[in-house]
Amino acid sequence: MSIQIDSCAARETIVVSTLSSEYELIVLRGDQGLILVRGGSHFPKFRRALFLGSTADGISVEPRTLDIGLRMKFISGNRFFCTSAVQSIRRHPAGAASTECEQQANEPGVPRGSHGSPTVPAAAS
């Protein structure tokens, strides 16, 4: 089962179990890959992030796609994150987001360009 983030409604929740952790993703702007993420060791609370997509090799990315067997890749606070392989994906309809999610939706965390669109930091060499 794969999910295209840009096909998700705003506030749709996706629960992803990886080999190591469980993540809760709440779609803010699927067309831009903007999400809130909670889970794993790096995200004990919801944080804004830019969902890049899924990867098998850590280099090439299936843009804005969540897929079983691949690792999720996203950016939050000018840092790149890559999870362990996805084991399961569950979708929940929009509107199921928590109060904590509502508060975090307007918090900083995703770098912005001059037009309000998310920007991707240059990779370190």
Question: Can you tell me the distance from the alpha carbon of 114 to that of 125, in angstroms, rounded to the nearest whole number?
Answer: 25
Given pLDDT bands bounded at 50, 70 and 90, which one contains residue 78?
very high
pLDDT value, residue 58: 80
Q: Give the C-alpha separation, 78 to 96, whole Å.
A: 28
Distance CA 1, CA 88 (A): 8
Classified as helix, coil or strand, 55 is strand
User: Torsion angle, CA of 19/25/30/34, rounded to 10 degrees?
Assistant: -100
Domain locations in the chain?
Answer: 2-104
- Give yes or no for residue 60 having a pLDDT over 60: yes
Mean pLDDT over 50-63 rounds to: 92
Residue 33, token pair as written in the block:
């890959």
| Token reading at 86 | 């996805």
Number of C-beta neighbours around residue 61 at 10 A: 18
Mean pLDDT of 56-78: 93
Q: Is the pTM of this model over 0.85?
A: no
Whole-number pLDDT of residue 125: 29
